[in-house]
Amino acid sequence: MMGSNTQRYQNKHFILGLLFVGYLVDYLDRMVMSVAVVYIKGEFNLDPAAVGVILSSFFISYAIMQIPGGWLTDKLGSRKVLIWSIIVWSVFTVFTGLAWSLTSLIVIRFLFGIGQGGYPSAAQKGIADYYPLKERPKASAFLMSSNYFGMALAPLLAAPMIVWLGWRNMFIVIGALGVILTIAFWVYFKPKQQQESSDVTKKNSLPLKELLANIELWKITVMWFAAGIVNWGLASWIPSYLMEARGMDIMSMGFYAALPGISTGIAMLFSGWLLDRYFVNREKYYAAFGMLISGIFLYLMFTTTSIPLAMLYLNICMVFKSFAFTVAFSLPHKMMSKKTIGSAMGIINMGAQAAGFISPLAMGFMISFTGSYNAAFWFLIVCCLISIIAALAIKKTEISVHTDKVVTL
């Protein structure tokens, strides 16, 4: 009996590690575009507004896929959605390196977003498949730290690969990682729960319209939408900002642009523990405080004349913004039952990815219109305030372990 329990314990952590690596590659594949676009705009003779369209084309399809991706995950199971998501996004990562015009690049990135759109909900469903209720928030926080490590890895790998191989070959090489990832999920990711009959699945399903009517779920979505604008605005434009406004070369930019991802990824590893230990049933204050500090240091980042101080402030901004990130992906595990977590996460992540569409595009037009980054950064600060208001409006609700019902505390 003891050996069986030990094997099950080790297996769930191995699966969490596999989901972590999958998310790492997911973010690597999408975020290298923020570095490559510095060279793409030169080859295709693009202005900042056109660059914003390229960066946003991925996010509109990615956002559109969040609710369908969550619904498909609850209906088909996490395994099928994870594997097909990896296959599709890897194919279109390779195709990105074959783009021949602005239009082709926009279409390819749009289809790439559809491929990646199923992974977030399926990954969170995977946690629910392998972990008991009490362990899911902490496991989710660990999983989501991969997003920031992926952001850090992207400029560190993209900068030298572009120098050595060119931006086109870089996309082809990193797209090939999907083959290895697909095999790993096919061999190792086999949740026992997904062997249940379709009759049981249908019996336990919750209509999507009931989820859409959940006000608290929408408050979390708005909180993460506003925080997501800050997240994706910085992730998309910081490489260009460092090279154009701060005068860095590509190798220096690759190093400095990676630092926020590294520091925030490390912070995320502790964030779930901190949330679980000190902020149980006070998650909204944790998120609101994080966004307040994030907004303050964002302002300090773009107003200081010192590059080292600007990089320090950027790192602090990103670390505290991750508080909202932790809450957005851990609190739903306390509020939603296992049978609906895929759809719920799809709704929440739809908000974040809609932000990913709006933010780079809006910032691109602001930069083109004003000729500087200041207005774009003020736009992000306003979104910090919106996120704070939405977070404070969330009521305390959680799942009863015994009845699997949502209760208001």
Q: Where are the domains of the chain?
A: 2-190+198-408
pTM for this predicted structure: 0.68
Average pLDDT score over residue span 109-136: 85
- Cβ neighbours of residue 327 closer than 8 Å, sequence gap 6 or more: 220, 223, 275, 283, 284, 286, 287, 391
pLDDT at 52: 79
Token representation of residue 53: 């369209």
Q: What is the pLDDT of residues 71-97, one digit of tens each?
A: 788 788 888 899 999 999 899 999 998
- In the predicted structure, residue 198 carries a pLDDT above the cut 50: no
Encode burial over 136-158: b for 16+ CB neighbours within 10 A, e otherwise: bbbbbbbbbbbbbbbbbbbbbbb
- CA 90 to each of CA 151, 288, 349: distance values in angstroms, whole numbers, following the listed order: 17, 36, 21
Q: What is the pLDDT of residues 12-58, one digit of tens each?
A: 889 898 999 988 888 888 878 878 888 888 888 888 788 878 877 88
- In the predicted structure, residue 145 carries a pLDDT above the cut 70: yes
Q: Shortest CA distance to 171 belongs to which of 250, 126, 112? A: 112
Token representation of residue 408: 């208001």
Higher pLDDT, 298 or 4: 298
Residues in a beta bridge with 399: 406
Give domain 2-190+198-408's CATH architecture: Up-down Bundle (1.20)
pLDDT at 396: 60
Residue 294 main-chain phi, psi, to 5 deg: -60, -45
By the 8 A CB rule, do 142 and 272 touch? Answer: yes
By the 8 A CB rule, do 384 and 231 touch? Answer: no
Per-residue confidence at 275, pLDDT binned at 50, 70, 90?
A: confident
Arithmetic mean of pLDDT over the chain:
81
Per-residue confidence at 117, pLDDT binned at 50, 70, 90?
A: confident
> Could you give the angle at which helices 215-244 and 341-370 cross, rounded to 10 degrees?
40
Average pLDDT score over residue span 252-260: 80
- Cβ neighbours of residue 172 closer than 8 Å, sequence gap 6 or more: 94, 97, 98
pLDDT at 84: 92
By the 8 A CB rule, do 27 and 154 touch? Answer: yes
Lowest mean pLDDT among 43-52, 270-279, 392-401: 392-401
Higher pLDDT, 320 or 143: 320
Per-residue confidence at 402, pLDDT binned at 50, 70, 90?
A: very low
pLDDT at 382: 96
Per-residue confidence at 262, pLDDT binned at 50, 70, 90?
A: confident
Average pLDDT score over residue span 363-374: 87
> d(Cα 198, Cα 287) in Å, to the nearest integer?
38
Higher pLDDT, 2 or 361: 361
Kindly state the percentage of the chain with pLDDT values over 70. Answer: 87
pLDDT at 40: 87
pLDDT at 303: 93
Q: Shortest CA distance to 367 belongs to which of 302, 315, 293, 318? A: 302
pLDDT at 174: 87
